Chain A
């Protein structure tokens, strides 16, 4: 989060057809997206940092994508009809994952089957494109991407605002400082670990309570 260098959205495209992979890649690049293509749902999950075994066993915590993912994925666009894991299966797995469910998913299909379309939309797909996909279809992607980019910032802002409404000015100031410290510490986490010191631990957490008015 908050990496200034990343101004492009990164889309993960999934399709078992080599022709369609080439086509979707070109469509996305022409629309100024960064693209990664894979030829199966299982490879897509692998890329997203999710291993299939983890999702079948509820007691095993999901592998955090931050450990495996080098690059953030802002949208997944997948073909529906694929051998093994279908696009629908992939959609379900993404939406069932606590770490991945906020990633918008778009389904593509060469077949116009209303029940298929509604099933996908009900499962959380943002859009359903009929193949062959065109540049004009890709224009529909941007609002979904803009929503998620600003969503994270809004969520943080909203939480801040909610808290502030019930706090004294002094508490607000304390919270603000703590929050800034935390933000800094998460950015400097690697550095802190290397130094053998965590800024969070050196700062006692009960500070907020002792200053209640």
Chain B
């Protein structure tokens, strides 16, 4: 497929990520920080997000499933998760994290468990979409015009 066509597809996908609320303004900030000195910055920081999120999800899972819940520890993990998702512009994930923290401060175990499923789901959806998106970006980069 020609470069122009691929670039058009990239632009469309990018637009839908914003329109559907998966990404917010902060993602654009990241794109603006990408330049010749740091040509893969967005993909690099998103990759860091994946590894860090995996760690946090595991910790939260353990905190929820191993005996009596330590709400302050849970809140701490979720604070970190909310922070990093907000830093990359992952809007839906950030919003679910906020809901989780509300249940945490209310020490509502069921609420936490339910919301955590939502957090994981939103994270999984976003990750899949971004992986597709960056794959398209890379394909467009190496493609020949037209």
Contacts and interface: CB of A to CB of B under 8 A. Distances in A.
A108 to B, nearest CB: 10
B95 interface: no
A29 B26 CA distance: 18
A22 B52 contact: no
Given A17-B80, A26-B38, A110 B44 contact: no
Given A110-B82, A132-B26, A19 B32 contact: no
Contacts of B41: 26
Nearest to B32: A135
A103 interface: no
A19 B88 contact: yes
Interface string A29-41: 1100000000000
B25 to A, nearest CB: 9
Contacts of A29: 37-38
Task: Say whether chain B's binding surface is mostly helix, strand, loop, or mixed.
Answer: helix
Interface in B62-91: 79-80, 82-84, 86-88
A22 B26 contact: no
Nearest to A30: B33
A81 B79 contact: yes
Interface string A13-26: 00001111011001
Interface residues of A, number: 16
A81 B45 CA distance: 21
A18 B56 CA distance: 13
12 contacts: A19-B88, A20-B83, A22-B44, A26-B33, A30-B35, A110-B79, A110-B86, A131-B83, A131-B86, A131-B87, A135-B29, A135-B32
Nearest to B86: A132
B29 A134 contact: yes
B86 A22 contact: no
A81 B29 CA distance: 23
